Amino acid sequence: MSILVDKASRVLIQGITGNEGQFHSWQMFQYGTNVVAGVTPGKGGDWIFDGKVPVFDSVKVAKDATGANVSVIFVPARYAADAMLEAADAEIPLIVCITEGVPVRDMIQVRKFLDQKKVYLVGPNCPGLLTPGQAKVGIIPGNITKPGNVGVVSRSGTLTYEVLYAMLANDIGSSTCVGIGGDPVHGLNFIDTLELFEADPETDQVVMIGEIGGNEEQLAADYIARYMTKPVVAFIAGESAPPGKRMGHAGAIIESGEGTAEEKIHALRVSGVQIAHHPEEIASMLIR
């Protein structure tokens, strides 16, 4: 099994005719993802990928015509909030926003609206989702992992790829990989994803990749201690980050001495989580 996406997912791409949208949509299509539609206002009636995927003017029309139940957003940052709101208004149950640089003020408005809907949002500023052998929804390379029993959830796209590749090199596969993104205001968080993995009968253990800034890892540690029955291995990026420096994502900001790697590692360790000190170490800590 998997969480969030599988071979039955019907995917539409907002911004499919742009340079990035078209490139990554083709990668998804080639992987075997069930891409059923694209959305670009003003280009409704066009077809792409040799006439295999229709383009519509709106998400609502695309959903009604194709039964799409996942939307992936590849639009510039200034349009991303409207794209997320449009997908939610069309009642697409899973929205994945790859776009980076979405203003925090815009995301506050998006979250306020989406919290009233029965909608999962992954991102923004994230690599998306990958269920090996079934569906690639976003930009995670499909050739760096294989089907397996390890759920992966991460705030960092690049570290996600590094960990998946190290797992593959040790013949370890994943059930689903979820890149939640590193912006201060975003959708799915660690706890949401851990809860889904805990309920998935085909996920036997979980890898969690965090970073400095905020307190999501500490909240996840408390959830793990209270509710997780499956073993968790974690890596927290930023142990050597210089004091006073902003590192990586917009969410990787340490305020008033809070959100340090040391705090996060301590909270997770107390909750029974195994801690890796570099990404390649994770594979050796997983149960074979």
Asked whether residue 251 carries a pLDDT value surpassing 50, the answer given is no
CB 97 within 8 A of CB 73: yes
pLDDT digits (tens, 9 = 90+) for 126-148: 999 999 999 999 999 999 999 99
pLDDT digits (tens, 9 = 90+) for 180-194: 998 999 999 999 999
pLDDT band at 252 (very low <50, low <70, confident <90, very high): very low
pLDDT digits (tens, 9 = 90+) for 35-89: 999 999 999 999 999 999 999 999 999 999 999 999 999 999 999 999 999 999 9
Asked whether residue 213 carries a pLDDT value surpassing 80, the answer given is yes
3-state percent helix, strand, coil for the chain, nearest multiple of 5: 35, 25, 45
Q: What is the pLDDT of residue 128?
A: 97
Active site residue 266: no
Rounded CA separation 98/56 (Å): 20
* Closest to 164 measured CA to CA, from 181, 177, 180, 179: 177
What integer best gives the mean pLDDT of the chain?
92
Q: Which amino acid is at 46?
A: D
Mean pLDDT of the region 195-219: 95
Helix, strand, or coil here: 264?
A: helix
Domain span(s) for CATH 3.40.50.720 in the chain: 11-122
Q: What is the pLDDT of residue 259?
A: 78
The single residue listed with the structure tokens 């201690």 is: 225
* Closest to 99 measured CA to CA, from 122, 120, 116: 122
Q: What is the pLDDT of residue 240?
A: 55
Fold of 11-122: Rossmann fold (3.40.50)
Q: What is the pLDDT of residue 141?
A: 96
CATH dotted code for 144-285: 3.40.50.261
Q: What is the pLDDT of residue 245?
A: 53
Domain span(s) for CATH 3.40.50.261 in the chain: 144-285
* Alpha-helix runs per DSSP H in the chain: 19-31, 59-66, 77-89, 104-114, 157-169, 190-199, 216-227, 261-270, 282-285
Asked whether residue 23 carries a pLDDT value surpassing 70, the answer given is yes
- 102 C-beta neighbours (distance < 10 Å), count: 28
Given 186, 249, 266, 277, the catalytic residue: 249
